[in-house]
Amino acid sequence: MSWYIGYFIVYFSFVFGIGIYYFFKVKNSDDYLIAGWNMGFWPIVGTIISTFCGAAVFIGWVGMGFTVGMTGFFQFALPAYVFTLILVVFFAKQLRRQKLYTLADLFSERFGGKLGVFPSVLSAFIYSVPTLALQIVGMSTVFNIAFGFSPTTGLLVSFALILGFTILGGLPATIITDAIQSIILTVGIVVLFIASLNYSGGFSEVLENTPVDYLTPFGQEGAFAVLVFALSVGPFYLIWQSTWQRIFASKSEEVAKKAGITAIAIGTAISILPYAIGVMARRYVPADIDPDLIFSYVTVELLPPMIGGLVLVGLLSALMTGADSFILQGSSNLTQDLYARLINPHADNKKMMFVSRISVVIIAGLGLILAFMVTDIITLYQWALRLSAVTLVLPFLAIMFWRGVTTKGVLVSMIVSAIVTITWPYLNTPIDETLIGFGTSLFLLVMVSLVTDHSKNENIKAVYYENFNTRN
């Protein structure tokens, strides 16, 4: 345990040292929420890697590798990176040029302030809060593994650490620590991979004794099922605000694009490892083990504390970087989309900073409540991802490319597609609800826009080709 204590003290001393430094350096809400649109190449690379390779890498994706094999990589991880690559390659320059804060900001600029409430609420409460709750639960698990904390104590300690760091330094502190934590988590997952390879007997033993279904891209599911699942997950990453924030925070359009591409390449390579670890674990862990416990089993039961402690710090860094990112995502929605646009458009810097930090407390508090109350957060998170993608992806593309899209077309599309996606599973049809939701969204977006006029509040532009020029 002494190794664990030493690692944890060093890690949290470093993290809070960065937070305190930026607490005194950050002077306005632009710096606090969007890092002053001034972050360089390597910090952006590191923070994207860290945000992608969060707790899912260490716990969820290892479990998927154990359960379904390498198919999981092609179902979940690869689609996420492919759609993020599309976002970065085709949209990073255009989005960075707008100098916005959030996805909802884009909707508000195009259609007027009130329409931005819908994506803002989705982002802040339906996505950020349950995702934050996942990180809090994950951190409490680490404290239980390392120190035997009770679930309640682990949740409260995790909440206090996450909130304390985030409220101090905002996005600048998050990005800098993310960049360094990307190295820590990479080392942690590589150490776990090497250990798993050793315990499983090496590559030749794994390849000879593992069923082929666990080693191929389509496994037992088949190509069609894997493709459908990938298409139900991947499009969300076109409108994932964590990546958008990193694009906006970059100091130039070139940095946003080049750093994003570099991070995606590195992240994709890293993300293969947890699935491979899960496959290899089939050779040496109990057959009836809970897949989500494989990480803790290897770390605590098989690795010496000197090495296991390093892996635990890697998991902690992954959880911290995810948690502060999701809090700041929700905080940006509350501060910029709701307060600055709808409640007090003329708020001065002092009020904006106050609201920014209060909104951090609100999002963090809701995440803690959900962590205590909900037992199946993973399912809630998956539904949040689906709803966000179905309601926002096609309207986002319409904003970028189609001048003819109208306020009513977007509003009807978002509301009805959300209702269809939620209710469709109760009809017990073989068609995936996400695909039906996308179809509904597309049909209504086009048809309603064609038969309705632009509202007087619209800024009629195809943003991909034209700028708003509101903050330049």
Q: How do residues 167-226 score in pLDDT, each as one tens digit?
A: 887 777 777 787 787 888 788 888 889 989 998 888 899 898 899 999 999 887 788 888
User: What are the structural domain ranges in the chain?
Assistant: 2-390
Report residue 111: phi and psi, to 5°.
-115, -5
Q: Using one digit for the tens of pLDDT, what is the confidence trace for 429-453?
A: 888 888 899 999 999 999 999 999 9
61: buried, middle or exposed (CB in 10 Å: 19+, 13-18, 0-12)? buried
| Segments in 148-222 forming alpha helices (H) | 151-200, 203-209
Q: In this predicted structure, what is the pLDDT of residue 471?
A: 46
| pLDDT lower than 50: segments of the chain | 470-472
Contacts of 379 (CB under 8 A, 6+ apart): none
Q: In this predicted structure, what is the pLDDT of residue 472?
A: 39
Contact 179, 14 (CB under 8 A): no
Q: In this predicted structure, what is the pLDDT of residue 86?
A: 96
d(CA 402, CA 465): 10
Amino acid (one-letter) located at 133 = A
Q: In this predicted structure, what is the pLDDT of residue 81?
A: 94
Rg of the chain in Å (alpha carbons): 22
Per the DSSP assignment, residues forming a β-bridge with 39 are 250
d(CA 327, CA 367): 9
127: which DSSP letter?
I
d(CA 81, CA 432): 22
Chain centroid, CA 37 distance in Å: 20
Per the DSSP assignment, residues forming a β-bridge with 250 are 39
CA distances, 111 to each of 95, 114, 333, 456 (Å): 16, 8, 17, 9
Contacts of 320 (CB under 8 A, 6+ apart): 15, 135, 139, 161, 162, 165, 177, 181
pTM for this one?
0.85
Contact 398, 458 (CB under 8 A): no
DSSP three-state, residue 164:
helix
Which residue has 């994706």 as its token pair? 61
d(CA 404, CA 411): 14
Contacts of 73 (CB under 8 A, 6+ apart): 61, 65, 217, 271, 272, 275
CA dihedral defined by 279, 280, 281, 286, rounded to 10 degrees?
90
> CATH topology for 2-390?
Sodium/glucose cotransporter (1.20.1730)
Tell me how many degrees the CA angle 23-25-26 measures, rounded to the nearest 5: 75
Q: What size, in residues, is the chain?
A: 472
Contact 321, 50 (CB under 8 A): yes
Contact 63, 200 (CB under 8 A): no
d(CA 330, CA 125): 7
Contacts of 8 (CB under 8 A, 6+ apart): 146, 313, 316
Question: What stretch of H or E contains 77?
Answer: none
Q: In this predicted structure, what is the pLDDT of residue 432?
A: 84
